[in-house]
Amino acid sequence: MVPISTERDLRLDLFRGLALWLIFLDHIPSNAVSWVTIRNYGFSDATEIFVFISGYTVAFVYGRSMYHNGFLIAAARVLKRAWQIYVAHIFLFAIYLAEISYIAHSFENPLYSEEMGVLNFLNNPDVTIIQAMLLKFKPVNMDVLPLYIILLLGFAPFLWLLMRSSTTALLASGAIYSLSWLFGWNLPAWPKGVWVFNPFAWQFLFIFGAWCALGGAARLSRAINSPITLVLAALYLLFAFAIAMTWHIPGLGAYVPKFVGDLIYPIDKTNLDVLRILHFLALAVITVRLVPRDWPALKSPWFKPAILCGAHSLGIFCLGVFLSFAGHFVFTEISDRMPVQVLVSIAGIAIMAGTAWLISWYKIIERQGSGSGSGSRAQAAKPSLAGGDT
C-alpha cells in the first residue's frame, strides 16, 4: 500500500482560493471584472482547478486514514464528508431560494426567478423541494456541490485501488470517461435535461488529481520538468488563446481554417471536453514550473487571503453563491457602471477573505481549547494536512 505524505502544500490552498474568487466573479451576470478570469482566454476555467485540487486533497486526507485504519473506516469518513456537503447544499438551496424569492417579490421583478432558475420552485414548491433533495433540481450557480457529492460517494473504492495499483485506477477512470462520451451517460435533471456537470466525465479529473497526490505527480516530474513539455504547453495555451479571441472578436474567426473549427467544436463543458482537460494540464505545467512547493512568496501576507479561502473552501463557496446574486441585484437595481462593478467585485472578494479569516480564527481558538485534552483529540482538531477542508 502506498504511504501517504503528511507535508502540507500551501499551493493547494492558494489556487483553490483563487479558483473560488474566479468562480464568484464569473457567477455575476454581465460583470466586466470577470474579464480577468481564465475562462475568457482559453478552453478551461476555474471549475477544472477546483475539481482537480479537490481530488488531490481528498486523496491526502482519506488516503492517510485508509493507510492507517483500513478501508471501512476511511470509507465511512468519506461518506460522512459527502453527507456534510449534502447538508450544506440543502441549506444553501433553502437560503438561496429565499434570497431570490424575497428580492423578486420586494422589487416586483419576476425576471430574477426566471434568470436564476427558480421559477419551477415558485410554481411547484412541493415537487421542486423533493427533486432538489434528490439533487435533480439545481438553481443557477448551484451545480458544483452536487457534483462534488457524487464524486465523494464513489471515491472510496477508487481510493482503495489507487493505493494498490494507481495505474489501474486511472485507466478505470479513463474508461468511464470514454464510455460516458460513447454512450451519452449522464444523470437526469429536473424538470428536464441532464446535469450541467456530468459526473461520469468530471470524475476523471477528480481521480486524476487523487492519482497525482498518491505518487502520480512524482512519476510525472521528469516529464513536467522537460523543456519539450514546457514548450508544448506554452504553444497549446497560445493556440487556445487565439481561438478564444475569435469568440470575443468575431472578425478573427475568418483566420481560423474550417477544418480546425470542425475538429475542435463544440468544446463541451458538460462532458469535460478533452480540449478543456489539455488546457488545464498546460496551465498546470506552467504553474508548477513557476510556483514550486518551497516558493517563499507562499508565506507572504499578500497571498494569505486566498490561502485562507482555499483552506475553508466549502463555506467560502457557499458564501460566494450568495454574494454573486447580491452583486447581480446591485447591478440590476442600483447601477451597473464600471466603478460599481469594480467595487462590488472587490467587496465580494474582501467579504470572502474576511469570512475565511474568521473561520480560521475560530478553529485556532478551538484547538487551543482542546490542547489540555489527549494527544489524539488535539490532533483531530488540526486542519487537514492536505491543505484545508475538502
Cell of 217: 505527480
Range(s) of the domain holding residue 344: 10-381
- pLDDT mean across residues, the chain: 90
Helix (H, G, I), strand (E, B) or coil at 110: coil
DSSP letter assigned to residue 255: G
Domain count, the chain: 1
Looking at residue 389, what is its pLDDT? 64
Q: Is residue 262 a part of any domain in this protein? A: yes
Looking at residue 103, what is its pLDDT? 82
Lowest mean pLDDT among 111-120, 139-148, 229-238, 271-280: 111-120
Cell of 45: 476555467
Residue that the C-alpha cell 475538502 belongs to: 390
Dump pLDDT digits (tens) for 235-275: 999 999 999 999 999 899 999 999 999 999 999 999 999 99
- In single-letter form, the type of residue at position 209 comes to G
Looking at residue 385, what is its pLDDT? 41
Dump pLDDT digits (tens) for 131-160: 999 999 988 889 999 999 999 999 999 999
Q: Is residue 3 a part of any domain in this protein? A: no
Q: Is residue 294 a part of any domain in this protein? A: yes
Is the Cα torsion angle 35, 38, 42, 47 positive or negative in sign? negative
Average pLDDT over residues 75-93: 95
Dump pLDDT digits (tens) for 332-354: 889 999 999 999 999 999 999 99
Report how far residue 144's alpha carbon sits from residue 140's, in angstroms, rounded to the nearest whole number: 10
Report how far residue 386's alpha carbon sits from residue 384's, in angstroms, rounded to the nearest whole number: 5
Looking at residue 390, what is its pLDDT? 56
Q: Is residue 76 a part of any domain in this protein? A: yes
Q: Is residue 348 a part of any domain in this protein? A: yes
Supply the pTM of this predicted model. 0.91
Looking at residue 32, what is its pLDDT? 95
Q: Is residue 35 a part of any domain in this protein? A: yes
Q: Is residue 389 a part of any domain in this protein? A: no
Q: Is residue 371 a part of any domain in this protein? A: yes
Has residue 167 got a pLDDT over 50?
Answer: yes
Alpha helices in the chain (DSSP H): 10-27, 46-69, 71-106, 111-115, 119-123, 125-133, 144-153, 155-162, 166-183, 199-211, 217-224, 227-248, 258-264, 274-290, 304-311, 313-333, 338-369, 375-381
More confident site: 359 or 381: 359
Average pLDDT over residues 41-55: 96
